[in-house]
């Protein structure tokens, strides 16, 4: 999988919030096999990399950092946050979030496109958190984004893919664009479904961080994402309306007639 100019082998990206301890976080990252984690700027302080030790902790894991603009509700706030994140974390990667509704945490498509245009022109590799709307997706690509991150369901809901048909259409409409489901995934089976319909990766946080055993859950999600991708590449059988016997009937004994056919 290639995201901008970086080649990755893992199909799972993890968030870093809400874990019970730093040790559990780092163990979960290792167990998942992920190579990219998202970090909110609010988890770290400016000037010299911060004082709370969170940044050195993540550096020690060896994963790539994807800062995000979580909590921003305007284009200008997201742009400023992205610029600060680049200075602190030393990366031009940014997960762009501009929230338009406080209840659903749905992205604001107008502010999202506006911020994406400015950040792409400023040299950022933008990962926009968006909906499955094809028009918005087109506008984000026109703005310079080379990755799209549609939601599966509202953040933290664990409801999985609410609009499978729309997301499947999105995959077909943008066959050469890396697509990552971001938000709403609550179970490994849902992560596998994401991959089985042809998406490139899945990003999640709460389902692992709030699990009874986050490390085991992280491992389960990593394996599910890999299995789903392998199934997609192998070629899933299409659903059928009627039963089809798996055992051939030719040559079977016809006991009712007392003979063979």
What residues are labeled active site?
Answer: 95
The 3-state secondary structure of the chain reads CEECCEECCCCEEEECCCCCCHHHHHHHHHHHCCCEEEEEHHHCCCCCCCCCCHHHHHHHHCCEEEEECCCCCCHHHHHHHHHHHHHHHCCCEEEECCECCCCCCCECHHHHHHHHHHHHHCCCEEEEEECCCHHHHHHHHHHCCCCEEECCCCCCCCCCCCCHHHHHHHHHHCCCCCEEEECCCCCHHHHHHHHHCCCCEEEECHHHHCCCCHHHHHHHHHHHHHHHHHHHHHCCCCCCCCCCCCCCCCCCEECCCCEEC
| CA 137, chain centre distance (Å) | 16
Contact 73/99 with Cβ under 8 angstroms?
yes
């Amino acid at each position: 999988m290639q995201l901008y100019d970086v080649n990755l082998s893992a199909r799972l990206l993890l968030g870093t919030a809400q874990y019970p301890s730093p040790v559990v976080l780092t163990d979960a990252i290792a167990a998942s096999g992920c190579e990219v984690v998202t970090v909110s700027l609010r988890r770290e302080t400016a000037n010299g990399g911060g004082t709370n030790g969170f940044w050195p902790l993540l550096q020690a894991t060896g994963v790539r950092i994807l800062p995000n603009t979580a909590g921003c509700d305007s284009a200008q706030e997201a742009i400023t946050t992205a610029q600060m994140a680049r200075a602190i974390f030393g990366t031009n990667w940014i997960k762009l979030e501009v929230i338009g509704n406080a209840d659903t945490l749905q992205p604001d498509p107008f502010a999202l496109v506006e911020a994406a245009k400015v950040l792409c022109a400023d040299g950022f590799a933008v990962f926009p958190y968006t909906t499955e709307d094809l028009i918005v997706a087109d506008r984000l690509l026109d703005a310079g984004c080379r990755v799209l991150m549609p939601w599966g369901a509202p953040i933290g809901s664990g409801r999985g893919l609410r609009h499978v048909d729309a997301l499947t259409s999105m995959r077909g409409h943008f066959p050469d664009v890396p697509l990552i489901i971001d938000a709403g995934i609550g179970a490994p089976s849902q992560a596998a479904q994401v991959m089985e319909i042809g998406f490139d990766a899945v990003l999640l946080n709460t389902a692992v961080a709030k699990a009874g055993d986050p490390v085991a859950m992280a491992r389960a999600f990593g394996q599910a994402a890999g299995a789903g991708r392998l199934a997609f590449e192998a070629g899933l059988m299409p659903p059928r309306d009627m039963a089809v016997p798996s055992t051939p009937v030719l040559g079977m004994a016809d006991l009712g007639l007392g003979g063979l056919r």
